[in-house]
Amino acid sequence: MKIIMLGAPGAGKGTQAQMIAEKYHLPHVSTGDIFRANIKNGTELGREAKGYMDRGVLVPDELTVRILLDRVAQEDCKNGYILDGFPRNIPQAEVLDKELEKLGDKIDVAIDMEVPDESIIKRMMGRRACTACGATYHIENVPPKKEGICDKCGEALILRDDDKEETVKNRLNVYHEQTQPLIDFYTEKGILKTVDGTQDMMDVFKTITDILE
């Protein structure tokens, strides 16, 4: 089962992807996580990606496609995977289809998480990340036990540059321009399923599992 999670940044697709991964024992492949790991490790790719992410613009297709295809070629992805944050635009989707077709494979379902921009801005400005271990929290929905301190390692929590209001608004503009056309792309292929992402987290999850089963 090969699944694509669509939706604006902050729509909750990452959380749902993790839950789906646990239930169905599939790898959760997040380009954001891959980039952040590279940034933390100070790789050349990480430095290049950070420059784009800090400005709230998308990492170029060439960088993204290269790292993604290498990831899904690994052994743990042979029975399926969940793509979170890829593809972000039509050219990426076309490259993905082409590469999978070479392997006699294809994407089974694309799930679109629909959430209004206003809700996303509020959600993302409430996110906090640990500077040391990478754990994430939300000041309203998933707060740390002690304000500003990570439960797991005791280090400071920060509002990441890509979660600040101006950056979020910029990312949403980019999403609507470049990523929204994917909804039409996967609708035409007959594999798009739309989910109301404003529901309670567990209600969203039930809707998705009903679709998958």
pLDDT (tens digit per residue) in 34-58 = 788 788 888 888 888 888 888 888 7
> Has 189 been annotated as catalytic?
no
- Residue 179 has what pLDDT? 81
Residue 70 domain-assigned (yes or no) = yes
| Catalytic site includes residue 160 | yes
36 part of a folded domain: yes
- Helix or strand or coil: residue 30? strand
Is residue 27, in this structure, part of any structural domain at all?
yes
DSSP string, 150-163: -TTT-PBEE--GGG
Please state, in angstroms and as integers, the Cα–Cα distance from residue 147 to each residue in 8, 130, 158, following that order. 28, 12, 11
How many domains does the chain divide into?
A: 1
Alpha-carbon span 20 to 5, nearest angstrom: 11
Q: Residue 98 belongs to a domain with what CATH number? A: 3.40.50.300
122 close to 14: Cβ distance less than 8 angstroms: no
Report if residue 121 sits inside a domain. Answer: no
Classify residue 58: in a domain, yes or no.
yes
Task: Reply yes or no on whether 127 is catalytic.
Answer: yes
Q: How far apart are the first and last CA of the chain?
A: 11
| pLDDT score for 74 | 81
pLDDT digit string, tens, across residues 115-152:
999 999 988 899 999 989 989 999 988 999 999 999 99
Residue 134 domain flag: no
Q: Which residues span the domain enclosing 67? A: 2-116+173-212
Measured distance CA(44)–CA(49) in Å, rounded = 9
Catalytic residue, chosen from 2, 36, 71, 88, is 88
Q: Are 111 and 193 in contact (CB under 8 A)?
A: yes
Would 156 be classed as within a structural domain? no
Q: What is the pTM of this model?
A: 0.75
Q: What is the pLDDT of residues 67-117, one digit of tens each?
A: 788 778 889 988 899 998 889 889 899 988 988 888 888 999 999 999 999
Residue 93 domain-assigned (yes or no)? yes
Active-site residue 71, yes or no?
A: no
From 2, 13, 123, 128, active-site residue: 13
